[in-house]
Amino acid sequence: MSSIINLGLIQTHATEDKADNLRRHIALIREAAKRGAHVVCLQELFLTPYFCKREDTALFDLADPIPGDTTKQLGDLARELGVVIIASMFEKRAIGLYHNTAAIIDADGEYMGKFRKMHIPEDPGFNEKFYFTPGDLGYKVWDTKRGRLGVLVCWDQWYPEAARLTAMSGAQILFYPTAIGWLKSEKAELGKAQHTAWETVQRGHAVANGCYVAAVNRVGVEEETEFWGQSFVANPYGEIVAKASPSDEEILMVPCDIKAMEDFRRIWPFFRDRRIDSYNDLTKRWRDDG
């Protein structure tokens, strides 16, 4: 079996029409498969605009059950094309209980399960605590027909603990469906620094865990937010091996060599040298040594 896993990362815009967004993404998934993708990852909340810019109870109507009709359609598509699909959606778990959730569908069409976003931000223009209950499924890895894949979502990408625990479960590639951008009022002063921080922290996860990292961001302007695109893949050395446009819709095709990941871990054995006996305080909110 080849050690190469071909990724197809789809960065695009979103309209107010969920059905249109689904149709467009199905067409893009087909194109990615035609170009040789083994795993296709969609951006965060791919069925809708990024609706968390304000608090509005009517927007809970955008949520869908997972599994449900959308995952059924994506499952049929995955089976037809022989690709794994990672789809980030707004999940309705129960009346009044909602999550930001990624569904994982195997290359034979099987719905394998879901990851619920663990870390929920609350910032101007990103009012997610109003909409999303923190995830309660833990950090998981799926042994798909195309590789062992770990999935986290957007704000999770800032936390080394989340990346570590997912990698410790055997993930060869960490996927981060994302919706992040600049507020118009901040871009001139902080835009470059914010993007650098976002990219750098994820490259660090790739190095520290000896795996590939794939971040999939959306593009376009939605009200005061300009999504910065630039989806990318970093290899275990933290090198960016491919990056998408900051503004254009794009399918970023990237081959990942799992054998190279194993070679990296043999010469830089970070898991071997971890001092797990000294990490107990990581479960505390803060260390008050004074």
| 192 in active site | no
Q: Which CATH code fits 4-283?
A: 3.60.110.10
* Catalytic residue chosen out of the listed positions 52, 91, 114, 117: 117
pLDDT tens for 250-289 read 999 999 999 999 999 999 999 999 999 999 999 999 988 6
pLDDT confidence tier of residue 125, bands split at 50, 70 and 90: confident
pLDDT tens for 188-238 read 999 999 999 999 999 999 999 999 999 999 999 998 999 999 999 999 999
- Rg of the Cα atoms in the chain: 18
* Catalytic residue chosen out of the listed positions 154, 211, 250, 256: 154
| 284 in active site | no
User: pTM score > 0.95 for this model?
Assistant: yes
| 18 in active site | no
Domain ranges of the chain: 4-283
